Amino acid sequence: MAMLPLRYPWIWLFVGWLLVAAVIVGSVMPDGPMRGLPVSDKTMHAASYCLLMIWFAGLYARQRHVWIALIMLALGVVLELIQGRLSYRMFAVADLLANALGVLAGFVLSFWLLAGWCQRLERRLIAIR
């Protein structure tokens, strides 16, 4: 998949992969890193996958957003399956639904409003210099 023309693509990808790593680590840790926050588990699932969708959709053209959404959905399924194999976690259909709702929200926001956010941000930051 070809990225949008960006001045600092390696930085955007690096941060995106850090976000993916955070979701993976948070999904397989014995005690979730967000435990104790006044936010429900399902809200955290949806927000995490929405953020991932928006982040990566900002790096690629709209034509690629469906593929990004499918990859994010696959990540959610794989992580839930892994959780089902861990003695200290469990597989939850409700988590899958929350992940999917997050991807859908991120897809809609990215497609209609936030597409190319990364290019716009770079242009503004460069203009400030």
For 61, the token pair is 């053209």
- 128 has a pLDDT exceeding 90: no
Instruction: Please list the alpha-helical segments (H only) found in 1-129.
Output: 9-28, 41-57, 65-85, 93-109, 117-128
What pLDDT sits at residue 69?
Answer: 98
Give the residue from 23, 115, 121 showing the smallest Cα distance to 65: 115
Tell me how far apart the alpha carbons of residues 123 and 106 are, in angstroms, rounded to a whole number.
23
End-to-end CA, the chain: 31
Which contiguous run of DSSP H or E holds residue 112?
A: none
Read off the pLDDT band of 32 (50, 70, 90): low
Residue pLDDT, tens place only, 17-26: 999 999 999 9
Q: What is the DSSP letter of 90?
A: -
- Residue ranges per structural domain of the chain: 42-128
State pLDDT tens for residues 41-76: 899 999 999 999 999 999 999 999 999 999 999 999
- Using the CB atoms, write b or e for 34-49: b if 16+ within 10 Å: eeeeeeeebebbbbbb
Calculate what percentage of the chain has a pLDDT beyond 70: 95
Torsion of CA 7, 12, 13, 16, to 10 degrees: -170
